[in-house]
Amino acid sequence: MAAQALPLLRWGRTASSLRALSCPAAAPRILFSSLRRPAAARCEAGSKVMLKGMDYPELENWVQEQGFRPGQAMMLWKCLYGNNVWAHCHDELAGLNKDFKKMISEHSYLKALTVKDILTASDGTRKILFSLEDGPVIETVIIPCDRGRTTVCVSSQVGCAMNCQFCFTGRMGLRKHLSTAEIVEQAVFARRLFSDEFGSITNVVFMGMGEPLHNIDNVLKASAIMVDEQGLHFSPRKVTVSTSGLVPQLKRFLHESKCALAVSLNATTDEVRNWIMPINRKYNLDLLLGTLREELRFKKNYKVLFEYVMLSGVNDSMDDAKRLIELVQGIPCKINLISFNPHSGSQFKPTPDEKIIEFRNVLIQAGLVVFVRLSRGDDQMAACGQLGEPGDYQLPLLRVPEKFQVAL
């Protein structure tokens, strides 16, 4: 089941895709994250701000600081995120008065990412490679579905510090946190490039490169922009932020965000999780699950999604299934069983399909809500756990516990 490289299928140049890349080249850009300077500060001579790094109150404040009415901020906001405009250059700011548009052109940037390439997998999944202003490349995946749902899987970091042993991105180590603008723009590009082809982009999952809650300030801000009713207007239930289990940040997320939470569990004992997910050594299963059990008491009609990557001979026994049932008792939840997607950075093997079904049936018989997530885009390294490019420097693989050496 190793990923097979297919000939690259180039993205078709439809009218919408040509429009998406038709903005005139801008002058060299400087990216300003919310952490580097107050977004609403008055522009000094020669300085520019990145508009997609602001939430709406910051944008409104910035517009007023420049001497314009608050109502014009809403018109600008809708050019950036609403009304099917998704502006990436100043020529696309239709409906704004001349002086306001001139000020925006002189004092702001509208685009944080540049499309480097788009790869098409045999199942129709698309992987977009974006170049950042300072050089690194990130990957975003668009997953169309026959049931009228199209999902964009966004990245939150370049690389990842968590070093999960089954994840290709984890081999990179952490290179950079993405800014709010760099995160939001992945969803904006998804709509610009693929709405005509796939219909509405309905779901966002923070399951691309990186540990989202390790970059929590920018992720909280970006996800809030995505669900803004006057902007991208995704349903909060359809924006899912995934974490490997950073407990303090997880608690903050549950208190501050309306969006859905997914937790990568992937093991039923601390021994296994300490090995395959080193974050467990700091926040073990008792602490992680106890925190969820406590916090979700105060959130009505809210269910956490547990993600469970099936690794042959490691976490897929019937004893694991029974322990999983016990572990999630008292936690409103759904469970996603995910087939491991092989890559060159890991020795793990995928659990056979028939054993995944057997595992699922044990959970269902105990009354749990269970889904099996099919691999999408694995022939272009676009599937779960396959994103990134480790390069020459890679984090070390951890020692395999003796009793699992045969399985690998």
Query: Cα dist. 230→55, 202, 234 in Å?
Result: 12, 16, 10
Catalytic residue among 58, 60, 139, 295: 139
The amino acid at 3: A
| 139 has catalytic annotation | yes
Catalytic hit among 79, 160, 333, 384: 384
CA–CA distance, 182 with 154 (Å, rounded to integer): 10
The strand pairing partners of 129, in sequence order, are 117, 139
* CB atoms closer than 10 angstroms to residue 281: 11
Q: What is the 3-state secondary structure (H, E, C) of 336-385?
A: EEEECCCCCCCCCCECCHHHHHHHHHHHHHCCCCEEEECCCCHHHCCCCC
DSSP 282-333: TS-HHHHHHHHHHHGGGSTT--EEEEEEEBTTTT-SHHHHHHHHHHTTTS-E
Number of H helices, E strands in the chain: 11, 15
- For the question of residue 89 being annotated catalytic, the response is no
Nearest of 168, 180, 174, 169 to residue 35 by alpha carbon: 180
Q: Which residues are catalytic?
A: 139, 384
